[in-house]
Amino acid sequence: MNFKYKNVYLNETALVAGPYEAKGPFGKYYDKTYNDFYFGTNSWEMAESKLITESVSILLNKAKLNKDDIDIHISSDLLNQLVASNYAAKDINIPFIGLYAACASSTLGIILASNMINSKQIKKAICTVSSHNASAEKQFRYPVEYGGPKRKTTTSTSTGGCAALISNSKSGIKIESGTIGRVVDMNIKDVYHMGAVMAPAAAETLYEHLKYHKRKPNYYDLILTGDLGIYGRGIFKDYLKEKYNIELNNYEDAGSILYGNNKKMYAGGSGPACLPLISYGYVFNKLKNKEYKKVLLIATGALHSVTMCNEKNSIPSIAHAISLEVI
């Protein structure tokens, strides 16, 4: 499903990041960083919630707005029952929608907010996402301190709280269009190879987007996928070429570059915060300075459930895209 927007703008962003992200090549773009995983709270779940609360208060400060100016807050994370978002929304106290699309949530939130703004139902929205390495490891994998060997294709959940202010008041960056993807399942059951799970979903969403708008990939200065990782990005490029005959030259994957060459992170970063940690910081700055004019963000999500995988089911995946343009 494709949407085109007339009067929706990305006004401001705020990023709070964890220790590994801060040490990475994009550390200087973060508004606040932490050296530990608790951030002064007493559990990882509350720490993740704090990432959202803090990113929203930094965002409101940067945009010089009050909570009352915001019509709606859309938030998502990876934890069961969206606890990080829900507990943050309690403190933020703006009318709230909790959203789950795994790591594809960041762009889905922006698409929903943009639709409401475009149809003049609301004026200003805040979209937040968070992920936390330790709370995600605890929920989806082994205890954090357990050192069982990991495979090379494993991605590491990024730690970050990311907030974006979307509104109808004009700024330099326009949200030009959005594409909602379909759930794709290529029968991959390997929970340590999420890039392989998500690559077809990303390819399908990109193809649908280009087809609907009758564009070529080089229409964009940058096409950025969410968290396919070092190996997933290769699968994505080959899959696109084989199935849709699309070749990409202006392509990057946020997960592959988030940690630079840090070998401890295996195939790179993942999590809902992975794409925004690059796109709300580095890419946002480049758009503001007009070094990039048109950027397509494709957030990719593996709809992974521990129970379903234990019951020998494959992992479905989804991808949603938004296009940002400088005006």
Partner 1 sequence: MDENKYSILVKKHTPKEDVSKNVFKAFIGGGIMGLLGQGLIDIYSFLFNVSTKEAGIYMIVTLIFLGCLFTCLGWFDRLVNFFRCGLIIPITGFAHAMQSATLEYRREGLITGIGTCMFKLAGSVIAYGIISAYTFGVIRLIILGVLK
**Please, which residues bridge with residue 127 across strands?**
74, 164
Tokens of residue 151, six digits:
């495979």
Choices 4-12, 110-118, 232-240, 303-311; region in contact with partner 1 by CB under 8 A: 232-240
DSSP-derived letter for residue 240 is: I
Is the distance from CB of 256 to CB of 233 less than 8 angstroms?
A: yes
- The encoded tokens of residue 95 equal 């009318």
Mention every residue, 6+ apart, whose C-beta is less than 8 A from residue 311: none
Cβ–Cβ < 8 Å for 76, 97: no
Residue 219 CB, nearest approach to partner 1 (Å):
25
**Which of these ranges, 11-19, 102-110, 146-154, 170-178, lies near partner 1 under the rule CB under 8 A?**
146-154
Binding mask 262-301 for partner 1 (x = CB under 8 A): ----------------------------------------
Residues between 236 and 265 with contacts to partner 1, criterion CB under 8 A: 238-239, 242-243
Residues 170/6, Cβ–Cβ less than 8 Å: no
Query: Cα separations (Å) of 213 from 37, 109, 115, 198, 285?
Result: 43, 21, 17, 23, 26
- Please identify, among the stretches 142-150, 280-288, 296-304, 319-327, the one whose residues bind partner 1 according to the rule CB under 8 A: 142-150
Side-chain-side CA neighbours of residue 164 (13 Å): 32
**CA 228 and chain centroid, separation:** 12
Neighbours of 86 (CB within 10 A): 16
Tokens representing 63?
């945009």
- How many chain residues interact with partner 1 (CB under 8 A)? 29
In the set 36, 68, 120, 147, which binds partner 1 (CB under 8 A)?
A: 147
Nearer of residues 92 and 318 to partner 1, judged by Cβ: 318
In angstroms, give the least distance from the CB of 125 to partner 1: 33
Binding-site string for partner 1 from residue 25 to residue 64, where x marks contact by CB under 8 A and - marks none:
-----------------xx---------------------
Residues 24 and 57: beta-carbon distance below 8 Å: no
Q: Which residues pair with 301 in a beta bridge?
A: 318
State yes or no: residue 97 binds partner 1 (CB under 8 A).
no
Q: For partner 1, which residue of 97, 144, 246, 248 counts as binding (CB under 8 A)?
A: 144
Which residues, numbered 172-231, are part of the site for partner 1 (CB under 8 A)?
186-188, 193, 196, 200, 231
Residue 150 near partner 1 by CB under 8 A: yes
State yes or no: residue 19 binds partner 1 (CB under 8 A): no
Residues engaged in binding partner 1 (CB under 8 A): 42-43, 138, 142-153, 186-188, 193, 196, 200, 231-232, 234-235, 238-239, 242-243
